[in-house]
Amino acid sequence: MTPEELLIPRYKVIADYPGNEIKVGKVFEPNTDWPESYLKKYPHLFRKLEWWEERELGDMPGYVKWVEYMPINKQKLLPERGMIELAKSIMWGNSIRFEVQSQINIISAEYFLPSTETEYLKYKSKQP
């Protein structure tokens, strides 16, 4: 899947309700019948998923990037922006284990966005 496809909002039905036509546990994208504005009104029925949640391994991107300040990075252990090849990393539930500058890091996936090989190679070419 492309990074753009991975970032399309998805929701999961987390509770049953009268007249429910969608099975509890089903993951779906908002549409004209189920607009996102409606789904957001009922967080006790529909949970918005993060881009990495409930994905098949084959749907995961080959590369991810971090672009936001990470609370764990207070001591500047990682560059402010960066990219990693996900194949050389390990996804642990909602965390990603990876190595930067010979240091092992385990960081919540919420700080990453899907990326492409082209972006990764461009990033690597600018590294010293």
Q: What is the pLDDT of residue 93?
A: 67
pLDDT digits (tens, 9 = 90+) for 87-121: 666 666 677 777 666 667 777 777 788 888 898 88
- Whether residue 44 is found in the same domain as residue 61: no
How many domains does the structure of the chain reveal? Answer: 2
- Whether residue 61 is found in the same domain as residue 44: no
The domain of 99 spans 57-125
pLDDT digits (tens, 9 = 90+) for 25-57: 999 999 999 999 999 999 999 999 999 888 887
Q: What is the pLDDT of residue 101?
A: 62
- Whether residue 41 is found in the same domain as residue 66: no
3-state secondary structure the chain: CCHHHHCCCEEEECCCCCCCCCCCCCEECCCCCCCHHHHHCCCCCEEEECCCCCCCHHHCCCEEEECCCCHHHCCCCCCCCEEEEHHHCEEECCEEEEEECCEEEEEEHHHEEEECHHHHHHHHHCCC
- Whether residue 66 is found in the same domain as residue 105: yes
pLDDT digits (tens, 9 = 90+) for 57-69: 788 888 888 765 5
- Whether residue 62 is found in the same domain as residue 110: yes
